[in-house]
Structure 1
Amino acid sequence: MLSYFIIILVCITLVGSVSFYISYKTMASQAEAASLLLVQQIEKNMDNDFHSKRNLLLASYNEQSYIDGVNRYTELSDRERFLFRQKIGDLYLKSFNVTPIRDFLRFQIYYSNGELLSSSDESGQHNPAKVRGSEWFRQTVAKDGEVFYSGFIPAADRTIDGETAYFSSIMIRDFSNPEQFILVRAEYRAELFNSIGRNDGLSPNSSIVILDEGNRLVYASGDAQRYAGGKELTSRINGSQGKFWLSLDGEDRLVSYTNSSYSNWKAVLIVPKHDIFGALDIIKTTVIVTAFIAFVITLLISVLFGQRITKPILDLYKTVNRIKRGDFSVRVEVRRNDEIGRIGMNFNAMQDELQNLIETRYVNQIKLQEAQLAMLYSQINPHFLYNTLDSIRAMSDYYQVQEISEMAQSLADIFRYNTKNKDEIVTLQEELVQIEAYMNIQRIRFEDKISFEQQIDDDLYSFPMLKMTLQPLVENAVFHGIERKRGKGTIAVIVSREGGSITLTVKDDGVGISDKHLADIRSSLKPPLQQGEGLSSDTRSGIGVLNVYSRYRIRYGERFEFHINSRKGTGTEIKLLIPEHLEAHS
Structure 2
Amino acid sequence: MSSGEVRHKVISFRNKMILIFIFMTIIPFVLFAYYAHLKSVEGISNANAAFAMDYLVQSKNNFDEYLAHLNNQINEVIGNKKLQQLMGEIPHTPEEESLFTSEMLNLLYQSMPYVDAFQIRVFPKDPSKYPLYMSSNVLNFQGVLENEAWFRQSMESVTPTWQLFLPGENQQSKPILSKVKRFTGLYDQLPRGLVVTDLSDDQLGRYLSPSHRVPQQRTYLMTGSGFVLYDSDNNATVGQPIASPELMNLIRASSEGAGTLEIDGGSMLVTYSRLNEEPWYLVSSTPLQALTGPIKKINNVFLMFLVVYLICCVGVVIYLTLYFTNPLLRLVKSMRKLEFGEFHYALPNSSRADEIGWLYRGFNNMAQRIQELIEQAFRSERAKKELEFQVLSHQINPHFLYNTLESIRWKAASHHMDEISEMVSSLGNLLRLSLNQGKEITTVAREIEQVRAYVNIEQARLGAPVRILYMVDEQVLNAPFLRLLLQPLVENAIHHGIRSNFDNGKIILSVRQEGRDIVIQLTDNGEGLPDSIIESLNKPHSADEKASRRGVGLRNVNDRLKLYFGESYKLKIDNTNGTHITLKHPVMSEEEAERSPYPSS
Which bin holds the TM-score, normalised by the shorter protein? 0.3 to 0.5
Q: Which structure has the bigger radius of gyration?
A: 1
TM-score of the superposed pair, with normalisation by structure 1:
0.43
TM-score if structure 2 supplies the norm length?
Answer: 0.42
RCO higher in structure (CA 8 A, sep ≥6): 1
